[in-house]
Structure 1
């Protein structure tokens, strides 16, 4: 028994290495040498493709990630071919390698000591496996300054290297070896080009070398690695004594000369080739944090450029205003534009009506010519139905055009400047202007269906003075008119241009508190402060209010078809509040510009409040419904938060583990269902035949090739190196006698056969290692082979 076992091991080793003797070295096998050359050729092709990621990352980041992915993929492919892993096993090993080494090669900032992955590393690698492709196209170059886009070269190199290496080592058909072996590196090369940049100094040399290596390897591989049969390396009849090495050198020199001619021709014919990359066709996603709020420029436009012409407008209806932007979020420093009220979307020459648009409204075509204004925010917003740029750079301006239909805000990331001309198709909306005396019912109901984003900051001065501003007004519209009237009557206008009248720019919490509760007891400011204070009071009343910045000329100016010059003095800010049935109602809380404070004489109390002694300070009492928390309660709350965090991570880990184990569970369930179906077949003969199929499937999962056309006796002889030949032949003969016999097998005979099947399975497991048994349990080979056999049987029947 011992001698037979050793002979079996030596025989397997000899068959694997391809040698004819027991002591044959692996390199002496033609199969091993041919596979080594194939892997080397694939490695060179993949490395040439990985070079293309260098320029887009501006240095070694792209090369490190791509070449690391190539090395890891080749290693996995070689191990998979050597150990005969299944496709699923190879995929799982590649996934594990991606998560283990992806942090060191693509996300070093998330690892420990630059190598050991953390939970953050696994999370980001999982997300960046599909988000990184978009990020690499939208980040500013070089991409190496960002942490995350390097996942693209690492992942693409890992996948293509694993597929190419596995294909050239495991596929048998030459056509498929060459097809997959060349296609996978070509995909990596193509990804490097499409996700790259215009700067590619080695692009021509890279392409020529790729084509040369592919040509030489394909020619050699087509001749099964025999240089004498190759046309280039073949010996001529007249020079039979010329050494093979010399002919190889001559062939290489000829190939290099041809490559030099091609490179020189390309450099002469196309010294500056137009490199087409995807980032030319992808518009980066809009990030409003990159663009400051237009309200921060209000003082500059209205005071510094007070007499400068910002732009000219033609076709503006009488009484209409030129909208610049609507701000709906206040963070304590700036009232800014948010994306949460309605997402910004790409706009063009034609814009469909939005949710809050009137499809039957008349359309006015308004043209703009920019002079001293510059910025990304586009004058002429509102209910837009189209924007047509007519100046130089129109394509660039159109590519970056975004519109928010809910707020009527438009911007172009390219920015407008002097010389920019464009026309907008603007839907005409009725002017609901409470400040100009528009008759509106006092019982209007605020439109609660329109959600204004909640502002994270709150000004205490607004809540302290709101009751004085509202007075005895009851309905929301009455309250807003009362607040507006108080600002216009009791406030003073100053924008910092008059000496001796202090009026600071900005609308921070401190500046708004100074406006409402300043030591001078005077409200002094311009549109910026009054509009923000009014909007904050409206929000305090839980009304959907927003601040709008724009332009409108003096009341006496002509509009219509006459070009109107808009200066900095025409810049204004106002407030809009939305009501049901009427839409947005406009309020102008800013006092008249000629209503300025007196500097030399002390100003009386602007609100004419009676002089009464202030009430004594009463210490603030806690809400009796909220007793003070004990220290233990605070600790319990902190502990609960910690426990919740731990539970969240545990659930996340369990979910990831379940997702990883799902394929294995599915495979085990399919095999269990197949075994049950065979053992409970309607006919006893089919149950006995199914028992032998169970043995063949187990052998197939363990890596033994059983010819599908072989009889049971032949299959038993084939598997004789794994199980005792006598047991296999006895089992095969018994199954044949029951299947082809005249009497129908009894249930006792069926159970005896399945008992023998379980005995044979045990013998298989005894001769296999633990890893082989585990791999066989979750192998797909028998499932795929069974499906292929059923298809062949159906085809034969047809």
Structure 2
């Protein structure tokens, strides 16, 4: 490596460092959606400053490569804890021993954790380590390349790697894609211009005014190339239909598996045991009026048990991810709520909440363990914590809770597709037709069903002294509920029956298990934001249906607790007479279509579910995204190559032979400038001698005769001139080798228009 540049050109070094900082700033844009925290900005800025500083000092002191590597490792250890693990510091500055251990272990382990935790992650645990390590190392390498090598243009590669890593490890956030790409493109072109200007000044031999004019033309040309690249990239983004971006995070399996847990609805009756019914379970402040405190949301019914997430695990409601910071609920419709929850007697993995969770903060001695084990499902808002909650735990949850429904009959069904499940039993369908005859709107039929359950249903938990009522919510139990007179059950049966009938009507519907305020006093407490204590007997099950706007609204189908009349004789089976005319076909709904299609015949199987096709499709998608990213990154270089090709074509196809011959000489001068060959002032013969080779001398003679000779150029002189230029270009490429030839092809040297030969070569 040469003597350090900072000792010779402080201004040039400062400009290079500013441009490198801009490159890294643009490359860090895709990382913002991962963190969305001020700690990320501080961490990235510290890494850029430290890395560039190490590169400058290493160039100034002429450190060997191993010394630069040791300096980077030392900076990582010294600055890593306050920058990347701020929770393990003293006064936010001094690292603790535990912080150093976390930093070193996070060097290897934080990468996997980063893509398995729900974004944004903030400064959670050691998740800032990847961006700090990549940025620190990349900045040091980029500064070293820029200040100590003969190819400073390659300093654009480390920030490019950081950009690609941010896209790969990040989240699907289209609003940051275009700004990141365009900002990095602009910074890259600025670096190319800086490199070309530095090379121009290193050649020497030109007067100061000519150099200034050449630099001005260079900046104008680079700006034009940037404009072309930006317009082209925007046109591609608009014209090409892009599939949903796939990143590493979107392909990883979630860490929490709810299918391994017992359904909360299966143990519904245990809450009404004498020793549990009056036990205080939860103390809640801030629960909106009319809202229930949800424990779990169930969307899959197999005819025996209502559970979470589908039997095959494919349903989005069964995918839980870690939440170290917050979820973006800006598109959710409802009322913002802040819930303060204290666990009294409740214990279980499900974390009670309301609506769609935005952020949660645990308190107490188990705060760190609870935060580390917390997972959430953004589709349903359900949350859980590994190991479960215990009495004494507390937390604050910020959520968006849908507004209560005033008029169920005005609802229209939403479009969500839930996991397919068992159909409602025949007895329940007959009750549906009795309560809500076909012909009304879906909302009117649903309102009629809820009203009938309230009017005709009676509550019994099957405890000693109560009317017999069998537990369970399988199809046989629901058929028994529909056939009994009077209808007797509890939330376990009424919620499942209401959900199945709502789906028959056309509404996407799911069952929720949680706690419902059931007295006017509780409603007054909710309004006054005073603590509300839920006891075990307040456990309830209700349903949520999706309306046309996309919101999931709460509907309670449970009848009030009242005296149960004597049982009536079983209703005899009704045998209907065949109708003389077939009724018109019923209108199908999205829910009807979930499981109605018969399995395709063997001949109809197009292999859409073939796992190999899925793998090949994923590979093709990833390759396509990488190819598009490569084209965007390469667009400045491709624009330079295209500009030179257009210039060469214009010269070669000039209107007159004389112009074509002069264009050939200008092409030779530009080619020599791109390869770093200095063409001194003088006659064309002298300049040809400096370039070397018989072809250059022949070309100089042809040009001189065409310009100064009597009668102008001879026939065929223009073809001979361009043949000489082509041969010289091949010779330059052969002597320089592939790497220098590529550098010459993308060099901006000839685009500045400073070749000495154009400014008055003498005959």
TM-score, L = length of structure 1:
0.49
**Closer, same or farther: CA 779–316 of 1 in aligned 2, 3 Å:** closer
Q: Report the CA distance shift for 1:678/1:568 in structure 2 as closer, same or farther (over 3 A).
A: same
1:127-276 equivalences under 5 Å are 163=142, 166-167=145-146, 170-171=149-150
Counterpart for residue 39 of structure 1:
65
The yes-or-no answer on 1:493 pairing with 2:460 is yes
Distance 1:686 1:36, change over 3 A: farther
* CA positional deviation for 1:553: 4.6
What is aligned with 2:572? 609
What residue is the counterpart of 1:372 in the other structure? 345
Greater RCO (Cα-Cα under 8 Å, separation 6 or more): 2
State the Cα distance separating 1:388 from its structure 2 match: 11
Residues 117 and 324 of structure 2 are in contact (CA less than 8 Å); yes or no, is this contact kept in structure 1? Answer: no
Q: Indicate whether 1:588 and 2:554 are aligned.
A: no
Residue pair 1:685, 1:744 contacting (<8 A) in 2 also = no
Aligned to 1:671: 644
Match of 2:57 in 1: none
Q: In structure 1, what is the Cα distance between the partners aligned to 2:747 and 2:419? A: 59
Match of 2:55 in 1: none
For 1:236-385, list aligned pairs within 5 A: 298=268, 301=271, 303=273, 305-312=276-283, 320-324=290-294, 327=297, 329-330=299-300, 332=302, 334-336=306-308, 356-357=333-334, 370-373=343-346, 381=354
Retained in 2: the 8 A contact 1:325–1:409? Answer: yes
User: Residue 668 of structure 2: which of 669, 688, 695 is its match?
Assistant: 695
- In the other structure, the counterpart of 1:718 is 690
Kindly report the root-mean-square deviation, in angstroms, between the aligned alpha carbons of the 2 structures.
Answer: 7.0
1:446 aligns with 2:408: no
Trace 1:714-793 onto structure 2 (pairs within 5 A).
Answer: 714-720=686-692, 723-724=693-694, 727-736=695-704, 738-739=706-707, 741=708, 745=712, 748=714, 752-762=717-727, 765=730, 769=734, 778-780=742-744, 783-789=747-753
Distance 1:644 1:405 in 2: 25
Deviation (angstroms), 1:788 = 3.7
Task: Determine the structure 2 residue equivalent to 1:418.
Answer: 392
Counterpart for residue 422 of structure 2:
459
Contact map agreement 1:369 1:421 (CA 8 A) in 2 = yes
1:565 equivalent to 2:533? Answer: yes
C-alpha distance in 1 between matches for 2:609 and 2:513: 48
Q: Cα–Cα, structure 1 residues 718 and 60, in superposed 2: closer, same or farther, change >3 Å?
A: farther
Deviation at 1:334, TM superposition (A): 4.5
- Distance change in 2, residues 1:578/1:647 (3 Å): closer
- Are the aligned partners of 1:375 and 1:416 in contact in 2 as well (CA < 8 Å)? yes
Shift of 1:542: 0.5
Pairing partner for 1:540 from 495, 504, 509:
504
In structure 1, the partner of 2:474 is 512
- For 1:650-665, list aligned pairs within 5 A: none
> More deviation in 298-307 or 46-55?
46-55
| Other structure's SS at 1:566 match | strand
Which of 62, 66, 81 is the aligned partner of 2:108?
62
Q: Contact between 1:575 and 1:588, CA under 8 Å: does it hold in 2?
A: yes
Larger Rg: 1
Distance 2:450 2:117 in 1: 52
Cα distance in 2 between the residues matched to 1:647 and 1:388: 41
C-alpha distance in 1 between matches for 2:616 and 2:291: 55
**CA–CA distance in structure 2, aligned partners of residues 788 and 356 of structure 1:** 57
Give the superposition deviation at 1:689. Answer: 3.2
Q: What displacement does 1:569 show?
A: 0.8
Whole-Å separation in 2 of the counterparts to 1:578 and 1:589? 19
Report if aligned partners of 2:300, 2:308 keep a CA contact under 8 Å in 1: yes
| 1:705 aligned onto 2:674 | no
Q: TM-score, normalised by structure 2?
A: 0.51
C-alpha distance in structure 2 between counterparts of 1:792 and 1:331, whole Å: 82
> Which residue number corresponds to residue 543 of structure 2?
575
Distance (Å, rounded) in 1 between the aligned partners of 2:285 and 2:105: 51
Q: Distance in 2 between matches of 1:427 and 1:654?
A: 40
Q: Give the superposition deviation at 1:588.
A: 2.0
Deviations 1:37-56 (CA, angstroms, capped at 9, x unpaired): 73343444456578879956
Q: What is the aligned partner in structure 2 of residue 11 from structure 1?
A: none
SS of match in other structure, 1:305: helix
1:378-416 Cα shifts (integer Å, max 9, x gaps): 767369999999999999999999999998989999979
**Segment drifting more, 132-141 vs 370-379:** 132-141
5+ unaligned residues in a row in structure 2: which ranges? 1-59, 85-99, 170-251, 310-314, 579-595
After superposition, the C-alpha distances for 1:344-373 in whole angstroms (9 at most, x for unaligned) are: 999999x99976448xxxx99997655334
